[in-house]
A and B are shown apart, each in its own frame.
Chain A
Amino acid sequence: MYSKLKLGIRSKITIGYIVIILCLLASVIILNNQITSLQKERNFIIKYDSQVQALTNSIEKYILDMESSQRGFIITGELSYLEPYENASKNWKVDFNELHQLLDNKPNQQEKLEEIKYTIEHWVATSGDPTIKLKKDNNTAELTEFFKVDIGRKDMETMRKQFASFRSAENALTQTKANQLDKKNSNLTSGLFGLLVLVSFIAIVIASGISRSIVKTITEVTEAIKEIAASKANHKGRIHVKTNDEINVLADATNELLDTLEEREWLQSNIAEMVTKYQGISAITQLAEIFLSEIAQMTKSSLGAFYVREMNNNDIYFVKKAAFADASDNIGVERFKIGQGLIGQSAREKRVYMCNDIPKDYKVIGTGLGEAPPKCILIIPIIFEDEVIAVVELATMNSYTELQQELVKQIIETFGLTVNSILGRMEIVRLLNESRAMTEELQVQSEELQTQSEELQMQTEELTMINEQLEERTKDAETKSRELEIAKRDLEESAEQLLLNSNYKSEFLANMSHELRTPLNSILILSEMLAENSNNSLTEEEAEFANVIHSSGEDLLALINDILDLSKVEAGKLDIIFGEVNVSEVPLLLEQIFSPVAHKKKLEFQITKAENVVDVFYTDEKRFQQILKNLLSNAFKFTEKGSVNLSIEQLKNEQLTNNMQEISAEWLEITVSDTGIGIPKDKHQLIFESFQQADGATVRKYGGTGLGLSICKEFAKLLGGWVSLKSEEGKGSSFTLTIPSLPNGINEERCSNLTFAEVVATTVVNDPIEVIEGPIEESHHDSQNEVDVFQNKNILIVDDDYRNIYALKTALEKRGMNILVAKDGLECLDVMQTNDKIDLILMDIMMPNMDGYETMSVIRTQMKLTDLPIIALTAKAMKNDRDKSLEAGASDYISKPLNLDQLISVLRVWLVSKRS
């Protein structure tokens, strides 16, 4: 991968250094050479120069030695002085040759040297040797002669001059050479500086080149990083480096890091986003849906299902709670067990499954346009506390990248907790609701119980009351049994007597009417005869009188007949003979009787008979007719204008009640209706009573005895039927006689039961009894029980005002209460110490020694009498007083000045035995 890397920064720098070092090395070598040659030259110069000098000096010395030795000898003549000369003449040529050799490359100097040689040889030849010879020959004259000329001296001087010139020439040469060396030296110095500059320059160039190449890429990278940092959105930017160096590696690494970061950020943001989506969700289905849709979006899944673990009869099932992109509205199984299928296996092993090779016919992913099988399936168990609590299955048309898998894995890690908490929350909500429902249910039950207990209480009380009464009665019965027996005997006697009396009365009445009728008959007959006035012996007025007598007599007769009938009924002496009645004859008969009356009063009179009415009907004809006659005459009597109608109908089967059917299958209903004055509703019951009419005024206006209807009622009863009434005041009345056909006579008991029931059901429209009942009974009981509530109750009055005590005492004692008195709190407590049967305390507040509050506190807290009723007597409109007395433990309060009724009410409330 990094094979392209050929010039790394390291190599660049290394190369740079090597170059510089090489340069330095080169320059050092060059310098060294120069310096060495210089040294050599210098050494050579020094050596050569000194050699030349030494040799020159040595030659000169030799010459001088020779001269001095010559002279010495000449002077002395001693041969010993000749020894140095001999040496010198031998040696100087050696030095000379040596010097000559040295001066090989200096021909000028050699020439000078040659000249010197010549001079020396000339001296030796001309002056040395001859003189020595002269001396040796002792030729002093010649010597002196010689020295008079002294050619040697001239040679010596020439030689000296020659040496001086040689030396100076040599010195000049040496100087030239030294100058040359100096020049070389300075050249070398400048060369050294030049080299330094050059090497420095090269070093700088290399350094700058390398550094530029490094910095450039670094800057590029920095710029790229800055750019990336600046672009906050998506870190899509990457670092591009053209060089093939470590920076490139760094850039690559950074890019890699960015990639990783980006992935991680993507993961994090998706996870974070996911987590925010969970918020506020309270139902697992909702959670599952949101989770699926989100995760499907993130993983680019096209299909998904969410299963949550549920317990069902100890079996663990995973039940589908949500599906994503449901193709056919029904993806996946609705539920599965642990281990069932791959998904079940995943739940069992708590591990993620991913399948890549999906058969073609696998479940299809549906879009609007078509369907396709998925390519990859991911099954993820969601684990909480090491238990799989849900399983998610996802399918995609592509494949899941590692990143997506990682995302799923990370999301799942915390998702278990969420699922669990939502399940927990749902459970809590369910339990909360349940507990609320249970609270309400409890309330219901408690109310029901209360109702039942109240009912029970009521029953118990009733029972207790009955029990008490029974006990009392038992006692009474025991003590009174004898009296009762006596009384019973008396009663029996008097009952017999009464019965006898009643019979006597009825018989008497019957006889009496009979006896009355006899004289009345004669009066009637005679008055009628008189009224006819057949002889015309009477004045018109007298005839009218006779008419009046007659009609009055008839009235009287009717009255007597009525009384007779009624008393017969009451005495049970009326004989009822059931027989055949031809119903079809009835209208004719009645018409004969009442048509004249109708005509006279100018009333319409109509008799109708329904078609279904049987011809033969079994009843007592006489009484039947009498009832009809009575009803009709009543109708005519109270009708001034309009009409009177009589209709005969037979009741249909469906109109008959069970009881009626038992008595007879055929029932007639004869209705007499009129358009008369009518009867007010509250009088409906009354008019059937003997001697009763609607009101007194009616009697005065219409006359009559008021017996007619009671006779009708009694007769109807005897015939097994009844009379009912419908009437409205001012609009008329209609009386209906309902009787059965009874071929075999009447069964008394059955009929009387029935009649009662039916009459109640039909005639008693507005039952007035109810209205009357309440108050009368109550007030009756009142006085009885009133005594019970107050009787023998011990009331303690605590008050410092004697007048108050007196007034209260009198009022309460009158009702049977026992009154105890205390003048202040202390006395009250004393009284209570000695008397533990106090039922109630009336407590004044403002008292000396110990006031009401304190007293009550003592009673409640120290004496622990928490249930004893204490009624505080407070001043009116003093709310503070009331609050304080309540705080002190008053059961109730009542304001002064006392209202006796109110006081009695309060006493009742607090003295009555509590039910519960």
Chain B
Amino acid sequence: MEKEFHNNLELNIENNKHTNMEIDLLLEAIYRLSGFDFREYNRSSISRRIYNRMRVSNIPTITRLLEKVIHEEVFLEQVLNDFSINVTEMFRNPSFFKAFRKDVIPYLRDFPEIRIWHAGCATGEEVYSMAILLQEEGLLEKSVIYATDMNEHVLEKARQGAFPIQKMQAYTKNYMLAGGVHAFSEYYNTDHQYAYFHPSLLKNIIFAQHNLVTDQSFNEFHVIMCRNVLIYFSPALQSQVHMLFYDSLSQNGFLGLGDKETLRCEGIISKYKEIVGNERIYQKLY
């Protein structure tokens, strides 16, 4: 059974044209059913997620999967969940946060209000990291962090501010490497499963559902963080989202990307300058 399934899978991969069509249909169906638009996502990633789902649920073809998606609401949810990759950690790439603290915070101090947008915040680890950073820099009070994601489930998790306790050792290291000035444990309580971050951090965080693919900008921001989100998008979609960010940034605002990402989008790149080498922090010039 297992082997046969794998054979099928290989056959599918070989039969690229059909596979593409099937994926097109599936994504179209998902878009129509749920409003989530994955059509312009990075195809290879999406197809891996699909095959993964097929493997786990033992579904031989994408068309069968499509059928299930259309007829079983629960399954649609499942697939949507599969598509949403929510890998994140607190103070991810600590050097980024260190650089942010060193090179961006001084700019922000002078603003009467700081609006920060975490686009694609997933389960909110980076949002809390930012809140902690701002707190330590004495800027949290005048900051508003808009944390958005298209996935309502992960947003709900983010709102709770509870992160698996197993990850806290790594987070503590990250925090210290990112230049944290207090004891990390001052920010959370624990039980056997989770570390709960203090609700005071949440005071100026607004969690909202927002889909980068389909939704428009909703404010003007001084900082936009969108780390390791755009890598899931096709180049065209990346450009579109970069335009959205550009339009949403205030003059001299900052854009933070993931460490493996680059501002490749042709028309936009000249309008930014990278203020910290290799940390992917860009400042909008004009």
Contacts and interface: CB of A to CB of B under 8 A. Distances in A.
Q: Do A and B come from one complex?
A: yes
Interface residues of A, number: 45
A760 interface: no
B188 interface: yes
Given A443-B258, A905-B195, A909-B195, A895 B183 contact: yes
A914 B169 contact: yes
Interface in A356-414: none
Interface string A142-167: 00000000000000000000000000
Contact of B192 (A454, A894, A908): A908
Given A448-B49, A912-B166, A915-B167, A785 B192 contact: yes
Contacts of B186: 895, 902
B45 interface: yes
Contacts of A605: none
B2 interface: no
B169 A451 contact: no
Nearest to B88: A447
16 contacts: A433-B264, A441-B45, A444-B44, A444-B232, A447-B87, A447-B231, A450-B87, A451-B86, A891-B173, A893-B183, A894-B185, A906-B183, A908-B190, A908-B192, A908-B195, A914-B169
Interface string A258-289: 00000000000000000000000000000000
Contacts of A912: 165-166, 168, 192
B256 to A, nearest CB: 15
Nearest to A790: B192
B169 A891 contact: yes
A789 interface: yes
A892 B184 contact: yes
A440 B260 contact: yes
Interface residues of B, number: 39
B97 to A, nearest CB: 16
B183 A448 contact: no
Interface string B183-203: 111101111110100000000
B192 A905 contact: no
Nearest to B166: A915
Contacts of A452: 52
Contacts of A242: none
Nearest to B89: A450
Q: Which of B164, B167, B169, B258 has the most CB of A within 10 A?
A: B169
B85 interface: yes
Q: Which of A436, A444, A789 has the most CB of B within 10 A?
A: A444
Question: What 8 A-B pairs come out closest when comparing CB atoms?
Answer: A785-B192, A443-B260, A447-B87, A909-B168, A905-B190, A440-B231, A915-B166, A908-B190
A781 B260 contact: no
A443 B42 CA distance: 12
Interface in B113-172: 164-169, 172
A436 B86 CA distance: 22
A450 to B, nearest CB: 5
A909 B260 contact: no
A91 B232 CA distance: 163
Interface in A748-801: 778, 781-782, 785-786, 788-789
Q: Which of A443, A445, A450, A454 has the most CB of B within 10 A?
A: A443
A843 to B, nearest CB: 14
Interface string A418-446: 00000000000000010010011111110
Nearest to A904: B190
B185 A909 contact: yes
A155 B181 CA distance: 173
Nearest to A461: B166
Given A891-B172, A895-B186, A909-B165, 9 more contacts: A440-B261, A444-B85, A448-B48, A895-B182, A906-B183, A909-B169, A909-B172, A915-B167, A916-B166
Contact of B191 (A447, A448, A778): A778
Contacts of A785: 192-193
B19 interface: no
B54 interface: no
Contacts of A905: 185, 188-190, 195
Contacts of A891: 169, 172-173
Given A443-B228, A894-B185, A910 B169 contact: yes
A309 to B, nearest CB: 27
Contacts of B173: 891
B178 to A, nearest CB: 12
B165 A908 contact: yes
Interface string A886-903: 100001111100000110
Contacts of A439: 260
Contacts of A447: 85, 87, 228, 231
A913 interface: yes
Q: Which of A778, A886, A909, A910 has the most CB of B within 10 A?
A: A909
Interface of B: 42, 44-45, 48-49, 52, 85-87, 164-169, 172-173, 176, 181-186, 188-193, 195, 228, 231-232, 258, 260-262, 264
B185 A906 contact: yes
Contacts of A916: 166
A879 B232 contact: no
Nearest to B165: A912
A879 B185 CA distance: 15
Contacts of B192: 781-782, 785-786, 788-789, 908, 912
Nearest to A443: B260
B207 to A, nearest CB: 18
A451 B87 contact: yes
Contacts of B189: 901-902, 905
A909 to B, nearest CB: 4
A782 B112 CA distance: 44
B65 to A, nearest CB: 18
Nearest to B49: A448
Nearest to A779: B191
A906 B171 CA distance: 12
B54 to A, nearest CB: 14
A782 B261 CA distance: 41
Nearest to A440: B231
A788 B191 CA distance: 12
Contacts of B261: 440, 443
A487 B45 CA distance: 56
Nearest to B192: A785
Contact of A448 (B45, B193, B264): B45
A363 to B, nearest CB: 37
B227 to A, nearest CB: 10
Q: Which of A785, A892, A893 has the most CB of B within 10 A?
A: A892
Interface string A865-887: 00001000010000100100010
Nearest to B196: A905
Nearest to B230: A440
Contacts of A910: 169
Given A452-B52, A906-B185, A909-B190, A444 B231 contact: yes
A772 B21 CA distance: 45
B258 to A, nearest CB: 7
Contact of B264 (A436, A445, A882): A436
A395 to B, nearest CB: 36
B64 to A, nearest CB: 21
Contacts of A915: 164, 166-167
Contact of A892 (B49, B185, B190, B262): B185
A893 B181 CA distance: 11
Contacts of B193: 778, 781, 785
A448 B50 CA distance: 12
Interface in A295-314: none
Nearest to B231: A440
Nearest to A453: B87
Contacts of A904: 190
A89 B86 CA distance: 177
Nearest to B232: A444
A452 B228 CA distance: 17
A892 B183 contact: yes
Nearest to A447: B87
